[in-house]
Structure 1
């Protein structure tokens, strides 16, 4: 008797998973920092005369067939006008950490997949009235305003569907797959979209007449196991939209911050300083919640920082080494110093934050979105 799931219903509380994926991340940072690169095919990678490869490219380059991991020489043959710029990992890490901090504003359950993407479980988040869709939209808007790049997002009851959703309306899009629509969405999903189905497996499926998940459902779990080995049971679940994997993070957050964009620009340093007590109170409350109990030893404050964005959308961040409980006097001094960098420009956004001690020095090529 077949005893696997009959459907994707569960008595457990419905999960709300968001998958965020930055659009052509490295290239997006290069275009942000040098607007003259926009609207022309560019790529980040190594030189063709040194057997370099493409790390990523913008959508103008992709229109010519340029892809990540492609030899730079091949990319130039496909797109003779392609401009290849060297990577700047420290710059990408800086932007990635900003994005990471935004994710953590909505949940402590943030799981990185690579430098430019992550899962966020917002099932219990009170933000945006508990709406995962509104949270995803707010995250996308904040990343655009704070970091200056676009992020695509998928919202679904599980990781499998959320990841597919983030790729569905790229670039700069969002796809929401509510529980009631899972079955219809998955039924017509091409098998090529399934995680774990590579070129060889897809070709085998096509030879069997399997084009979409609805076709896979015609096979029992035992038949799928005979055809596809250990991947069979997983395939049985995926074609029904079932994915019970939890969102889990193995890393502590490296910083905590609060910020506010003001409806009316703050015209003076006195005006900025007047806003600090309210921000400091918010930060203190969040810090107390994070470090309450056993977690205190994991989060020892190492630095305080202030972020200021002026009305011309240029921003600056200043920080200093500190220890113990954050002090508002330190934030005031950092704020005053930051304001001077704007040459008198009004301020549209203020942020306060702390950085925690970090004894690890992970390889930035591995999980740089969540490491220093």
Structure 2
């Protein structure tokens, strides 16, 4: 059994926790009171007005003028995310983080210590609430795909268990938009075919799906049948480390996308250094509003985990693959692979002094943050000119 733990309205909930006078009020994280920038997160009270992440702040202010607008405190959220990760580690070492606010856990082999998978899930949910005063929703299921859907069904503070023999019945009534990879365009195609639920999709001939979606048709077919063979892979065993975010609404603003990519890059870089990994290949993933997905990569001459180097490469990939003619973006992801960790390597006689300096700064930053918390140290404007506009991970 796999657990998917997803924090509820994470950024906004942290702000309401830290400032009790905001509880019960609509809170927007990101943007400015004047309506500049974009929404990074919205409390459940704000969501009732139709506000969601990646929405222009000016639109959010128009929908809910009485909402409280707060700046993004990404390092503070990352510090709390580390506390959540520590709670996970009390129960299992097999943790695959997806973003600051969600992760997959494999609890196989822990039954004698902590009970069943459901027992562990309940303990984790309770511990997060009691120790951090935050709410998490948990899905427990035989695989990642079903566990992730389960965690999203009864937010906030949801708990959904799907037994191995109940997967088909669980998926049957759910809308096709629950399937990974089904966006607005795919929904329209399936609706024209008379398909609105996962159960209806499961009854289709797979050849029809292939005709309309190509290889993606087989993927949809497998998901509709509840099939997902992927294992939970901790960072230190992974062949690649990546983060991606799906926007609640398609984003066409290049500055917003660049800011989001910066946040993704910093998260990936920290995970690389934490696991003492360095990679040669930097990959960018973009899924457009028309469902077309592209992946672009650049392989460096030497492996690295230096944030600045990763960011410069990722930003170049983004700029070279977006133009005024490209559709808005639905999903953005960044990853690193091609790990090479044979220990210290011979340095170049003409090594880039800037890279060496940034590497030393990363080490110092990481050490300070580990000891004093994420908010103890900021990053210079050269790298983070767009940081406060970041939409961050989806919630």
TM-score, length-scaled by structure 1 = 0.63
Using the TM superposition, name which of 55-64 and 181-190 deviates more. Answer: 181-190
Alignment partners' CA distance in 2, 1:143 and 1:195: 27
Structure 2: which 5+ runs fail to align? 238-274, 277-369, 372-378
Gaps of 5+ in 1: 1-15, 253-296, 299-353, 356-360
Write the distance in 1 (CA, Å) between the matches of 2:124 and 2:392.
Answer: 20
CA contact (8 A) 1:213 1:239 kept: yes
Which residue of 62, 69, 73 maps to 1:84? Answer: 69
* Cα distance in 2 between the residues matched to 1:366 and 1:136: 29
Higher RCO (CA-CA < 8 Å; seq separation 6+): 2
- Once the two structures are TM-superposed, the CA of residue 367 in structure 1 deviates from its matched residue by 9.8
SS in 2 for 1:84: strand
Question: Which residue in the other structure is 1:56 paired with?
Answer: 41
2:140 counterpart (155, 162, 166): 155
Q: Match of 2:234, SS?
A: coil
Name the residue aligned to 2:210.
Answer: 225
Name which of structure 1's ranges 158-167 and 128-137 shifts more when overlaid on structure 2. Answer: 128-137
User: Does residue 32 of structure 1 match 2:42?
Assistant: no
Do residues 164 (structure 1) and 137 (structure 2) align? no
Q: Distance in 1 between matches of 2:65 and 2:201?
A: 43
Tell me the CA shift for residue 221 of structure 1. 2.5
Q: TM-score, normalised by structure 2?
A: 0.59
Q: Residue 35 of structure 2 contacts residue 61 of structure 2 at CA under 8 Å; is this kept in 1?
A: no
For 2:72 and 2:37, how far apart are their aligned partners in 1?
12
Rg larger in 1 or in 2?
Answer: 1
Over aligned residue pairs, what C-alpha RMSD do you find? 2.6
Residues 51-130 of structure 1: matches in 2 within 5 Å? 51-126=36-111, 129-130=114-115
Aligned counterparts of 1:241 and 1:181: Cα–Cα separation in 2: 10
Of 184, 190, 202, which residue of structure 1 is paired with 2:175? 190
Change (3 A) 1:187 1:139: same
Other-structure match for 1:143: 128
Q: Residues of 2 paired with 1:366 and 1:248: CA distance?
A: 26
Contact 1:127 1:135 in 2 (8 A): no
User: Are 1:238 and 2:230 counterparts?
Assistant: no
Aligned to 2:5: 20
Q: How many residues align?
A: 250
Shift of the alpha carbon at 1:48? 5.3
Note the C-alpha offset of 1:219: 2.2
Q: C-alpha offsets along residues 65-122 of structure 1, whole Å, 9 cap, x if unaligned?
A: 1111111100000001011011222221121000001112222211111110011111
Distance 1:109 1:76, change over 3 A: same
CA displacement, residues 281-309 of structure 1 (integer Å, 9 cap, x when unaligned): xxxxxxxxxxxxxxxx97xxxxxxxxxxx
TM-superposed deviation, 1:156:
0.2
> Separation in 1 of the partners of 2:25 and 2:40?
17
Structure 1 moving runs of 4+ over 6 Å: 363-368
Given that 2:167 and 2:226 are in contact with CA atoms closer than 8 Å, whether structure 1 keeps it comes out as: yes
Partner of 1:196: helix, strand, or coil? Answer: coil
CA distance in 2, matches of 1:217, 1:42: 40
Q: In 1, Cα distance between the equivalents of 2:103 and 2:169?
A: 26
Query: Any residues of structure 2 matched to 1:170-181 within 5 Å, and which?
Result: 170-181=155-166
Mapped to 2, the partners of 1:175 and 1:35 lie a distance apart of 29
SS in 1 for 2:140: strand
Alpha-carbon deviation of 1:220?
A: 2.6
SS in 2 for 1:169: coil
2:350 maps to which residue?
Answer: none
Matches within 5 A, 1:240-319: 240-251=225-236
In structure 2, relative to structure 1, the CA distance for the partners of 1:155 and 1:214 (3 Å cut) is same
